[in-house]
């Protein structure tokens, strides 16, 4: 019994928090897909994203966790909900085609297969906590991942130009 | 030792001989206790704050304000709370019930959780996170989800409009408010609230440079830093939906905005959360721009000295033992400093409410995106240059800071004089002239 | 000074990116002169000059250089595919200059988006790890989504952009999930998780990778297959090709495809080529996709009456031929196969852009539809002989008839496949291209043999003429002198794959 606890990480508070956070993240993700109302789906997604932030925190990546909450829950999802409210999408928004049940079966099958594969191929043992301070993240971003960091700015420039092009009042 | 939980735990271990295996459970219990403490604190603070707000509103409008319940009407908020709790809890028939019920708590959580990283003194802080400032910004951004949720769940057009306005406003103003904090992060080299406070100090050798003298506050670091403070203050007003940015609940057009359909205890939760938010706004201003809890002249012992034990505070030549009762009174004093500064900021927030008219929604957007945002970026880059030309430790920088602080004092005196003039010219008869 | 060296290595990337920024600034500061807002020869010139400079740097490149701790690898694949996407962007800008003026659309933002997309494509071609690959993929795609919806007032254009965006985002999500699985699997096998192709190659080599790792590979492959419009992921192509403004269609048909193939080559080289015991399965899977792609693409193209839809299915079919080359590369990893694939794509770039250029010249201008029925080409052979002749060249090349680039491209790819022992697939491919020849040649028949009274008006623009001349010249030139290209390819590919 104690071996099981040690193996699964349930012998520590962090272990319990991990399973709690992971379970909430999965339930949140499931409810996002299964909710009939788009707004509830978006709210469940916030729950899921915040739980992922908890997992980051457990790994020691406090900066990433804070950013996750700030950017996803605080900004991106708010804009999602904003759009849903703007379009006034009720629970019956969107048609449900007949092939949806096929998609459900396929999705469930894929999910089951993935779960099986992950459970069997991931060995036990505890994840190494990382140095998630701002300094460490900054060193990585401006060192090893400098190119990706700078290339993202080109990506964002494209997004900004695109938003202006598509949203500008008068183009022609 | 800065972490309250581990501090109390080590005390429990040494004093009561608590076994180490129980540590996690005790820690969890303490976290709950602290959370409860903050909730109560936030509620009481909101109550007292509402009392002050109503009294100040009364003064500005040349009337008295609440003065019946308790001494000077101080217990009015308890009466109000009791009334709210006993009122009927109405949920509209067409509302989305679970979301309608959940929304106020979400907002309350978003505000109260922010208290965790706000330091009251050197040792009184629930959790000195290394990303403290980001944490506050992140967790308070949860409130907007609560606002949106209530706007949607109420199934009322006023609430919906209020929710949407609020979303647009909060998401927009998060950007200048975050950017205006960035220079302080650059100056202190940390996101931890405690380290930002402790970086606002000069050389510890001399009492006139050490600790929280006004010329060590970041607001007087440079003219741009002062601009940053103003921007941050405006952005905080907008994020807390305080006038002149209370569009989400603009009474004249939206009844009461996102909380139109709420009543009873749930409405009380909104009310409390909104007012508790001003604490966070004020505390952030004090922490980042006004030197936090630092006492003028008191040099904080270094982290190494504290770890090595036998550390002392130095205050005008006196050495005060870090672990002793002297330090307790010193920290109580710094708590007082913190509260007084914060009350000053909060007072201006209240006064603004009764002084300026509400902005229109397009004006609100224009202010943020066309003025505050470019201005913050300009300030950020100018401050970066300033940091290179005039490093914090240099004498020239100290001179500039002192000049800035003097200018600030003149500004404050002008402000006080103007307030007094206005009160007099309004023919105020509530208090004799020698009081104000 | 290491940083300066790295910056020198990636010079083609930042030259084009800075040119995009300059074009945007010129757009903002420019006056209101010209037939359309933000239009001017200087914008075209800046864009073309930057592309030419980047191409010149790539042509002069020697050997393999890595930059930024392996995020960017400028080697044979990077140079060859980089040159292909630059050529595509160069000609697309010339065609767009004519189109945008004709339709009163702003040029500045368009060129900037084309340039930024090209930066993404080059990143994809030069990716040294999956992170760069993904950022390149997204930079490229985001810009192209917007280019597809550039005629905002037109519903078809809106539909095209929206469809492309939704499907594309879905494909990107799959690719990203696959990358996460690969990252984890590499960590499990080798002890340190990594996204670098070198590390992935080491982990996937000895055959210790579990099924989950191969699922990751399949997901990333699917994400890239979406961009090249291989068959199970081709649904978006006809609608998007039809609805997008014609120069955007041309650009996405050639640039996106070439860049995605570059990424695919790097990806299969890291995961499949060295994998012990799994190579045969991988080859078979790619081959099956390739065969389905070319058969479905060709058969559906025959039924089309609108020329842009026909070209869309034709581009699906061509993706099948190139995929056959990729399968051959996995089966028999030689630089020559990559050489054949890049040669094919280079020729394909010239002929497809040329075909879209001719469509652009005759496209009807009313705002309801954005396509040209094939029947309306009747008789243009008699009235506009030069343009019609150019279209004949492009159609012959697409059909794979000598002495055009299309013929030698097919020859090179098919012989590489034969070399790798994939005889059955090659026979099917040859049969499929015979079907393809039917609908390409039909266009020529319509142009010359169905009546001689042509009512169509042609767009008159020197940019369009220059673009068409460039395409025709490349199609025939690369076809007549394949040696010069192959010699160059051999030089830059020296030492590739160790």
- Residues of chain A with Cβ-Cβ distance to C114 below 8 Å are none
CB C9 within 8 A of CB C65: yes
CB-CB contact of C122 with C16 (8 Å) = yes
- Chain C's closest residue to A144, CA to CA, is C69
Q: Which one has a higher pLDDT value, C137 or B316?
A: C137
B76 contacts: CB under 8 Å, gap ≥ 6: B51, B54, B66, B68, B69, B70
Q: How does residue B10 score in pLDDT terms, banded at 50, 70 and 90? A: low
Neighbour subunits, B (≥3 Cβ pairs < 8 A): A
Average pLDDT over residues B225-248: 88
Q: What is residue A130's predicted lDDT score, i.e. its pLDDT?
A: 75
Report which DSSP code applies to B312.
Answer: E
CB B1 within 8 A of CB B123: yes
Helix (H, G, I), strand (E, B) or coil at B296: strand
Cα–Cα nearest to C45, from C127, C108, C2, C104: C108
Gyration radius from chain B CA atoms: 23
Yes or no, beta carbons of A165 and C210 under 8 Å apart: no
DSSP state letter for A128? P
The reported pLDDT for the residue numbered C305 is: 87
Element (H, E) at C66: strand C65-67
Confidence at residue C115, expressed as pLDDT on a 0 to 100 scale:
95
Edge-to-edge strand list for the sheet holding B318-321: B298-299, B312-315, B318-321
Residue C373 phi, psi (nearest 5):
-65, 145
CA angle A89, A92, A96 (to 5 degrees): 120
State the average pLDDT over residues B295-305.
Answer: 78
- Asked if residue A52 belongs to a domain, the reply is yes
CB contact under 8 A, B164 and A73: no
Structural domain that includes position A13: 2-125
The residue among B99, B130, B138, B154 with the most chain A CBs within 10 A of its CB, best to mutate, is B138
- Residue C107 near residue C100, CB atoms below 8 Å: yes
Q: Which residue has the tokens 């270094």?
A: B302
User: Which two structure tokens, joined as six digits, stand for C262?
Assistant: 């570059």
Tally of CB atoms within 10 A around C373:
15
CA-nearest of B352, B337, B325, B342 to B296 is: B337
Cβ pair C287, C293 in contact under 8 A: no
* CB contact B137 to A (< 8 Å): yes
Residue A162 lies in a domain: no
Residue B12 confidence (pLDDT) above 70: no
How many structural domains are present in chain A? 1
Residue B172: is it exposed, middle or buried by C-beta count within 10 angstroms (0-12/13-18/19+)?
buried
Residue of C nearest to A114 (CA): C212
By CA distance, what is A13's nearest residue in B? B24
Q: Which of C153-157, C410-414, C477-481 has the highest mean pLDDT?
A: C410-414
> H or E segment at C65?
strand C65-67
Instruction: Yes or no: say if C254 and C88 are a contact pair by the CB < 8 Å rule.
Output: yes
The span from the CA of B238 to the CA of B255, in Å, is 19
The Cα of C123 is separated from the nearest Cα of chain A by a number of Å equal to: 9
Under the banding of pLDDT at 50, 70 and 90, the label for residue C92 is very high
Q: Is the pLDDT of residue B229 over 80?
A: yes
Confidence category of residue C120, pLDDT binned at 50, 70, 90: very high
Chain A CA closest to residue C111: A161
Q: Is B26 on the interface with A (CB under 8 A)?
A: no
Highest mean predicted confidence (pLDDT) among B1-5, B120-124, C69-73:
C69-73
Tell me: the pLDDT tens digits for A106-128? 888 988 888 887 777 666 556 66
Number of neighbours of residue C153 by Cβ within 10 angstroms: 11
More confident site: C117 or C33: C117
Site of tokens 């240099």? B394
Cβ of A43 within 8 Å of Cβ of B99? The answer is yes
- Distance (Å) from the C-alpha of residue A2 to the closest C-alpha of chain C? 26
Residue A160, domain member (yes or no):
no
Q: Tokens 């995020």 label which residue? A: C71
pLDDT value at residue B381 = 93
Report the b/e string of C30-56 with b at 16+ CB within 10 A. beeeeebbbbbeebbebbbebbebbbe
Confidence of residue C130 (pLDDT cuts 50, 70, 90): very high
Q: Is residue A61 part of a domain?
A: yes
C437-452 in b/e burial notation, b at 16+ Cβ within 10 A?
bebbeebbebbbeeee
DSSP state of B368: I
Tell me how close the Cα of C40 comes to any Cα of chain A, in angstroms. Answer: 15
From B96, which residue of chain A is nearest by alpha-carbon distance? A40
Residue B9 has pLDDT above 70, yes or no: no
What does the radius of gyration of chain A's CA atoms come to, in whole angstroms?
21
Q: What percent of chain C has pLDDT over 70?
A: 95
Residue of A nearest to B132 (CA): A66
C234: Cβ–Cβ under 8 A, 6 or more apart, which residues? C293, C296, C297, C316, C319
Q: DSSP secondary structure string, A61-113?
A: -HHHHHHIIIIIIIIIHHHHHHHHHHHT--TT-S---TTHHHHHHHHHHHHHH
Of B27, B96, B142, the CB nearest to A74: B142
Task: Judge: B27–A75 Cβ closer than 8 Å, yes or no.
Answer: no
> Which one is predicted more confidently, A12 or B71?
B71
Least confident window among A56-70, A111-125, C101-115, C177-191: A111-125
User: Does the pLDDT of residue B1 top 60, yes or no?
Assistant: no
Which pLDDT score is estimated for A172? 45
CA of A122 vs chain B CAs: smallest distance (Å): 28
Q: What is the mean pLDDT of residues C397-412?
A: 89
pLDDT in tens, B379-396: 999 999 998 998 888 888
Closest alpha carbon to C144 in C47, C233, C227, C30: C227
Supply the pLDDT for residue B46.
Answer: 79
- C22-64 pLDDT per residue, tens: 999 888 776 555 555 667 788 888 999 999 999 999 988 877 8
Least confident of A81-90, B390-399, C311-320: A81-90
Is there a domain that residue A17 lies in? yes
User: Do residues C479 and C407 lie in contact, with contact meaning Cβ atoms separated by under 8 Å?
Assistant: yes
Residue A30 covered by a domain: yes
The DSSP H or E segment spanning B290 is none
Q: B132-142: per-residue pLDDT in tens?
A: 888 888 888 88
Q: How many CB atoms lie within 10 A of CB A121?
A: 16
Give the CATH number, domain containing residue A13. Answer: 1.20.120.1200
pLDDT level of residue B435 (50, 70, 90 thresholds): low
Are the Cβ atoms of B131 and A70 closer than 8 angstroms? no
- Say what the pTM is: 0.87
The number of angstroms, rounded, from the C-alpha of C303 to the middle of its chain's C-alpha atoms is 24
User: Do the chains A and C touch each other, judged by at least 3 C-beta pairs below 8 angstroms?
Assistant: yes
Structure tokens at B107: 């907002």
Mutation target to probe the A interface, by most A beta carbons within 10 A, among B148, B163, B170 is B148
Across the range B190-209, mean pLDDT stands at 82
Question: Is the pLDDT at C355 greater than 50, yes or no?
Answer: yes
Using alpha carbons, select from C142, C129, C139 the residue that is nearest to residue C66. Answer: C129
A-contacting residues in C 97-126 (Cβ below 8 Å): 103-106, 109, 112-113, 116-117, 119-120, 123
pLDDT at C249 over 70: yes
Reported confidence tier of residue C354, pLDDT bands at 50, 70, 90: very high
Q: Is B27 on the interface with A (CB under 8 A)?
A: yes
Q: How many CB atoms lie within 10 A of CB B32?
A: 10
C334 to C59, C76, C283, C329, C490: CA distances (angstroms): 22, 13, 14, 7, 11
- With a cut of 50, say whether residue C438 has pLDDT above it: yes
Would you place residue B82 in the very low, low, confident or very high pLDDT band (cuts 50, 70, 90)?
confident
User: How high is the ipTM of this complex?
Assistant: 0.90
Helix, strand, coil content of chain C in percent (nearest 5): 75, 0, 20
Helix (H, G, I), strand (E, B) or coil at C73: strand
Contacts of residue B99 in chain A, CB cutoff 8 Å? 40, 43
The CA-atom distances, in angstroms, between C348 and each of C87, C116, C408 are 11, 22, 11
Query: Is B138 touching A (CB cutoff 8 A)?
Result: yes
Q: Measured between CB atoms, does A162 come within 8 Å of chain C?
A: yes
DSSP bridge partners of B319: B314
**Helical residues (DSSP H) of B264-324, grouped into ranges:** 264-289, 303-308
Rounded CA gap, B387 and B82, in Å?
Answer: 53
Q: Which of residues 287-316 of C touch A (CB under 8 A)?
A: none
Q: Residue B372 gets which letter from DSSP?
A: I
Residue C430 above 80 pLDDT? Answer: yes
In this structure, what token pair is assigned to residue A99? 């092939």
Residue C348: the pLDDT is: 93
**Is A163 within the bounds of a domain?**
no
Neighbours of B353 (CB within 10 A): 18
- Give Rg (Cα) of chain C: 21
Amino acid C457: pLDDT = 74
- Residue-level pLDDT at C22: 92
Closest CA to C228 of C253, C250, C249, C248: C253
A80 lies in a domain? Answer: yes
The predicted structure's pLDDT at residue C164: 93
Using CB atoms, which residue from C72, C103, C185 is nearest to A147? C72
Q: Higher confidence at residue C273 or residue C432?
A: C432
- Report how far residue B104's alpha carbon sits from residue B119's, in angstroms, rounded to the nearest whole number: 26
């Amino acid at each position: 019994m104690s071996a099981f606890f040690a193996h699964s990480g349930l012998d520590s508070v962090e272990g319990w928090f991990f399973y709690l956070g992971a379970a909430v993240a999965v339930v949140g993700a499931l409810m996002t897909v299964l909710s009939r109302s788009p707004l509830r789906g978006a709210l469940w997604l916030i729950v899921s994203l915040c739980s992922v932030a908890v997992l980051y925190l457990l790994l020691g990546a406090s900066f990433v966790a804070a950013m996750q909450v700030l950017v996803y829950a605080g900004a991106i999802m708010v804009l999602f909900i904003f759009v849903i409210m703007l379009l006034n999408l009720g629970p019956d928004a969107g048609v449900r085609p007949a092939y949806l049940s096929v998609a459900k079966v396929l999705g469930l099958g894929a999910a089951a297969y993935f779960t099986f594969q992950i459970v069997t191929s991931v060995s036990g043992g505890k994840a190494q906590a990382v140095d998630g301070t701002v300094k460490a993240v900054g060193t990585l971003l401006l060192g090893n991942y400098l190119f990706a960091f700078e290339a993202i700015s080109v990506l964002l420039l494209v997004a900004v130009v695109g938003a202006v092009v598509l949203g500008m009042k008068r183009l022609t | 030792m800065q972490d309250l939980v581990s501090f109390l735990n080590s005390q429990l271990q040494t004093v009561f001989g608590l076994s180490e295996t129980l540590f996690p459970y005790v820690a969890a219990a303490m976290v709950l206790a602290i959370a409860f403490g903050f909730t109560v604190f936030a509620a009481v603070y909101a109550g007292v704050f509402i009392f002050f707000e109503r009294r100040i509103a009364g003064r500005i409008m040349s009337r008295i304000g609440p003065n019946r319940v308790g001494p000077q009407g101080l217990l009015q908020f308890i009466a109000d709370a009791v009334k709210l709790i006993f009122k009927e809890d109405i949920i509209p028939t067409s509302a989305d019930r679970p979301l309608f019920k959940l929304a106020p708590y979400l907002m309350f959580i978003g505000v109260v959780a922010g208290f965790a990283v706000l330091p009251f003194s050197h040792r009184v802080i629930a959790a000195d996170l290394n990303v403290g400032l980001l944490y506050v910004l992140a967790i308070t951004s949860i409130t907007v989800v609560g606002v949106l949720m209530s706007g949607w769940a109420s199934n009322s057009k006023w609430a919906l409009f209020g929710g949407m306005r609020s979303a647009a406003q909060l998401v927009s103003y998060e950007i200048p408010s975050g950017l205006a904090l960035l220079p302080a992060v650059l100056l202190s080299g940390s996101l931890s609230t405690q380290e930002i406070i402790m970086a606002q100090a000069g050389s510890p050798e001399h009492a006139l440079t050490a600790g929280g003298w006004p010329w060590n506050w970041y607001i007087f670091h440079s003219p741009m830093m002062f601009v940053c403070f103003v921007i941050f203050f405006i952005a905080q007003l907008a994020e807390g939906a305080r006038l002149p940015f209370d569009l989400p609940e603009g009474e004249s057009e939206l009844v009461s905005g996102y909380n139109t359909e709420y009543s009873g205890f749930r409405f009380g939760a909104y009310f409390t959360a909104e007012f508790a938010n001003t604490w966070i706004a004020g505390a952030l201003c004090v922490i980042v721009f006004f030197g936090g809890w630092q006492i003028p002249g008191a040099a904080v012992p270094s982290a190494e000295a504290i770890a090595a034990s036998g550390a002392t505070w130095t205050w005008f030549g006196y050495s005060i033992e870090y672990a002793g009762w002297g330090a307790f009174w010193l920290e109580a004093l710094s708590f007082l400093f913190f509260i007084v500064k914060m009350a000053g900021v909060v007072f201006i927030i209240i006064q603004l409410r009764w002084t300026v008219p509400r902005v229109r929604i397009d004006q609100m957007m224009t202010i943020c995106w066309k003025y505050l945002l470019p201005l913050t970026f300009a300030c950020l880059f100018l401050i970066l240059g300033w940091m290179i030309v005039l490093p914090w430790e240099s004498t020239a920088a100290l001179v500039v800071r002192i000049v800035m602080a003097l200018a600030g004092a003149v500004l404050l005196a002008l402000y006080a004089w103007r307030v007094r003039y206005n009160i007099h010219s309004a023919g105020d008869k509530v208090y004799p002239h020698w009081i104000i | 000074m290491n940083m300066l060296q790295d910056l020198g290595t990636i010079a083609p990337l930042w030259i084009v990116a800075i040119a995009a920024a300059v074009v945007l600034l010129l757009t903002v500061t420019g006056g209101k002169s010209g037939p359309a807002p933000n239009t001017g020869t200087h914008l075209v010139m800046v864009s073309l000059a930057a592309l030419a400079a980047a191409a010149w740097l790539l042509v002069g490149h020697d050997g393999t250089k890595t930059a930024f701790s392996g995020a960017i690898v400028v080697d044979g694949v990077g140079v060859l595919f980089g040159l292909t996407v630059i050529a595509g962007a160069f000609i697309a800008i010339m065609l767009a200059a004519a189109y945008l003026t004709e339709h009163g659309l702003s040029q500045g933002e368009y060129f900037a988006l084309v340039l930024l997309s090209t930066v993404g494509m080059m990143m994809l071609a030069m990716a040294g790890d999956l992170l760069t690959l993904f950022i390149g993929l997204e930079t490229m795609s985001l810009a192209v989504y917007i280019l597809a919806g550039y005629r905002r007032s037109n519903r078809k254009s809106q539909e095209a952009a929206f469809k492309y965006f939704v499907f594309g985002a879905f494909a990107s999500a799959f690719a990203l999930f696959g990358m996460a699985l690969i990252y984890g699997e590499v960590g499990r096998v080798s002890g340190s998780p990594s996204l670098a192709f070198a590390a992935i190659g080491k982990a996937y080599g000895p055959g210790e990778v579990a099924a989950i790792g191969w699922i990751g590979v399949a997901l990333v492959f699917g994400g890239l297959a979406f961009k090249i419009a291989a068959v199970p992921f081709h649904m978006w192509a006809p609608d998007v090709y039809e609805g997008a403004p014609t120069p955007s269609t041309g650009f996405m048909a050639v640039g996106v495809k070439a860049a995605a193939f570059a990424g695919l080559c790097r990806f299969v080289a890291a995961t499949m080529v060295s994998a012990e015991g799994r190579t045969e399965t991988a080859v078979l899977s790619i081959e099956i996709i390739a065969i389905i792609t070319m058969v479905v693409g060709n058969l559906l193209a025959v039924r089309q009456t609108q020329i842009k839809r026909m070209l869309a299915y034709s581009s699906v079919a061509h993706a099948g031929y190139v995929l056959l080359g990729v399968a051959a590369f996995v089966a028999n990893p030689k630089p020559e196969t990559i050489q054949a694939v890049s040669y094919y794509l280079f020729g394909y770039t010239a002929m497809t852009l040329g075909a879209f250029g001719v469509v652009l010249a005759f496209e009807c201008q009313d705002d309801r539809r954005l396509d040209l029925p094939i029947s309306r080409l009747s008789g243009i052979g008699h009235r506009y002989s030069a343009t019609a002749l150019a279209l004949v060249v492009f159609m012959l090349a697409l059909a794979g008839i000598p002495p055009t680039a299309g013929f030698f491209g097919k020859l090179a790819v098919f012989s590489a496949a034969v070399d790798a022992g994939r005889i059955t697939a090659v026979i099917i491919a040859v049969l499929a291209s015979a079907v393809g020849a039917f609908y390409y040649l039909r266009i020529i028949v319509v142009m010359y043999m169905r009546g001689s009274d042509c009512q169509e008006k042609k767009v008159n623009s020197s940019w369009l003429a220059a673009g068409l001349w460039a395409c025709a010249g490349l199609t025939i030139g690369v076809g007549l002198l394949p040696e010069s290209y192959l010699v160059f390819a051999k030089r830059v590919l020296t030492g590739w794959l160790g």
